[in-house]
A and B are shown apart, each in its own frame.
Chain A
Amino acid sequence: MKRSLKKTVGLHALLIFAVLVVCMPVILAFIISSQTETEVLSFPPKLTFSNNWVYNYTTAWKRIDLGRMMFNSAFIAIMVTIGKIIMSLLAAFAFTHFEFKGKQILFFLIIVTLLLPVPVRIVALFDVVRSFGWINTYMGLIVPFLASATGTFLFIQRFKTIPNELVEASKMDGCPPMQYFFKILLPLTKSTIGALVVIEFIYIWNQYLWPLMATNTDNMRVVQIGIKMLMNAESSNNWGVIMAGVIMTMIPPLLVFFILQESFMRGFALQSDK
C-alpha cells in the first residue's frame, strides 16, 4: 500500500515536532550556556546563541572542581561496568552450561535481588560500608554494585539462543569449559555486552542517592552531586554557568549511548523476542 505524499509530509512534520519538543529543554540549556548573566536575565528572554561560551564553561569547570568529579564518575562507572559484566558472564555460564547441586536455590537467590534496590537496604548498607572504612573511597562506590541480576539474566538469555551443537562439538574436540567460554561463547556475546555497557555505565554515572551518602569530601564527589553544588555555588542564579556544567556532565553517558546504540537496541530486542 503506497502512502500519499500528503500523509508522508504530515508524518515527517509530526516527527520533527515531537523531536523538537523532546529536545527542547536541552537545546535551551545549550543556548543559555552561551549567554552572559545579563543576557540570561534579560526581559523578554533572549533565545539566540551569544559568545560567552569560554567564560561559562571554564567557570563551571573551576567553581566545583568538575574535572575531578568527571574523573570520579567515569572511573566508578567504568569499573562497575567491567566488574559487573565479568561477574555476570561467569554466573550466566555456570547456570547455562553446568548441572550442580543447589542450582535452583542459587538461581532463586539471584531473582530475589530484584526485590532489593538500594533504598530498601540503605540503612544497613551504609553501616556495612562504614565499618569497612569505605566512606569517601572508590571501593565504597564500586564494590556494592558489582553483582547484577540484570546482567546475569541478559547473558543467560543470550547463551540459551546459542545452538547446543557448538558445545557438543567442542566437547568432542576435548575443549575444556573455560576455553569454550573464551574462544566460542564470548565472541558470540558481543552485542549483549554492548547493551549491558550502555545500561550499566548510564546507571552508575547517573546515580545520586548512594554517592551522596557514601562521600562527603569535595574530592570524592561525583558529577551528579556536582550539579547541585554548582547550583548552590552560583548563588546569583547565573544559569549560563550552571547550564554549561549540566551540558558537560551529560556528554560522557551520551557518547556511550550513541556509540553503542545499535547493540543496545539489539540487546533489548533479544530479550523480548523470547
Chain B
Amino acid sequence: MKQAAFTNKYLPYVLLIPTFVILIIFLFYPAFESFRLTFYKVNPYSGAGKFAGLYNLQKIFTNPGYIQSFLISAIFALGVVGVGLTISLLLALLLNQKVKGAQIYRSLLIWPYALSPAIAGALFNFLFNPANGLVGYFTGIRTWMTNGNTALFVVILAATWKNLGYNIVFYLTALRNIPRDSLEAAEIDGAGPVKRFFSITFAFLSPMTFFLLVMNTIYAYFASFGLIDVLTEGGPAESTNILIYQLYRDFFVNSRIGYAAAESLMLFMLVVLLTIVQFKTTEKKVYYQ
C-alpha cells in the first residue's frame, strides 16, 4: 500500500466501521458458527445442540451418496474448467486479431456473462428436453436428459456456455498485456505463428490461466446451484447432484443441520486449498464474483 497521506486518529476507523459491522455479523460469525455446528448434533425443531465430536464428519464420509456427489462435483468442475478455458482461449485469440468490427465481435461473444446460471439452465432445458428439444431432433438422440452421463455432459455444457464471456474478458486482457517486442523478436528469429504461440503467448498466459482455473473451479462448485435446480434438480438418479445441491437439500429440505454444517466445512476446505494454489501461482489478489 502506498504511504499514508493524511493524519487523523479516528477517521480511518470511522471509514471502516460500516464494512466491519457487516463482515462480523454476516460473514465471520456465521462462518464460525457453521464450523462449530459441524461438531454438534442439532435438533431441527428446538435448535438445541449436543456436542458430538467428529460424528457428522464421519457420517458424511460413510455415506455413499455423499462420496458420489463429491466425485460428480469433481468431474463437473474438471469439465467446466477444461472445456471452458480451451474454448475461451481460442475465442480470445480470434478476437485479438486486427479485424474491422473487433469491438462488435467482442461484445457479441462476451455478453452471456450477464446471464444467470438459472437462465442457462432454462435455455438448455429447452434445447435438450426429451419431448421436443431441438438438439434431440437434430441429433436423433432423445435421451440427453434421461441418461446420467449425457445429463452431466449437458450440465457441463450449459455451465461452460454461461461462463465463456467472463473467461474471454480475462484472456483478452492478458493477451493485450503481452509485450509486443517479445513477439516481434521471435518473428524476426523466424518463428512461425504456431511456434510463436506455444513458446511466447502461452508462457505469458499461464498466470491468467491459473487464475481462471481457480475462478472457474469456484464457479463450478459454488455458483452452479441455480443451473442444477432449473435444469436437472440433481437427476436423473442423482447423476448431476453436485455438492452444493446436496448441501441445500440436507440443510433446507431435510433439516439435517449438523450434517449440513459438516458439508459446508468441506466446501470451506476446498476454497482454502484453491486459494493457496491461487496465491502460490499468481501475485494477483483481486477476485471477481
Q: Which residues of B contact A116 (CB under 8 A)?
A: 27-28, 31, 268, 271
Instruction: Contact check, A227 vs B113: say whether CB atoms are below 8 A apart.
Output: no
Q: How far is the CA of A110 from the CA of B18 in the complex (A)?
A: 13
- Please state if A15 and B94 are interface contacts (CB–CB under 8 Å): yes
Contact across chains for A109 and B23 when beta carbons are under 8 A apart: yes
* Chain A residue total in the interface (Cβ 8 A): 111
* A122 contact set on B, CB distance < 8 A: 30, 34, 247, 251, 264
Shortest CB-to-CB span from B103 to chain A, Å, is 9
Could you say which of A18, A26, A87, A154 contacts B109, with CB atoms under 8 Å apart? A18
Query: Does A82 lie at the interface of the complex (its beta carbon under 8 Å from any beta carbon of B)?
Result: no
The reply on A36 being an interface residue by CB < 8 A is no
B261 at the interface (CB under 8 A from A): yes
Q: Mark A96-123, 1 if CB is under 8 A from B, else 0.
A: 1111100100110111011111111111
CB B31 to nearest CB in A, in angstroms, measures 4
Contact with A along B100-115 (1 / 0, CB 8 A): 0000010111011111
- Looking at the complex, which one of B91, B137, B247 makes contact with A18 (CB distance below 8 Å)? B91
- SS of A interface (majority): helix
Residues of A that sit less than 8 Å from B by CB: 3, 8, 11-12, 14-15, 18-19, 22-23, 25-26, 28-29, 32, 40-41, 43-45, 86-88, 90-91, 93-100, 103, 106-107, 109-111, 113-128, 143-147, 149-150, 152-154, 156-157, 159-160, 164, 167-168, 171, 177-178, 180, 199-200, 202-203, 205-206, 208-209, 212-213, 224-225, 227-228, 231, 237, 239, 242-243, 246, 249-250, 253-254, 256-258, 261, 265, 268-269, 271-274
Residues on B facing A (Cβ under 8 Å):
1-9, 11-13, 15-16, 18-20, 22-23, 25-34, 37, 47, 91, 94-95, 97-99, 105, 107-109, 111-127, 129, 131-132, 134, 137, 161, 164, 169-170, 173-174, 176-177, 208, 218, 222, 225-226, 229-230, 244, 247-248, 251-252, 257, 260-261, 264, 267-268, 271-272, 275, 284-289
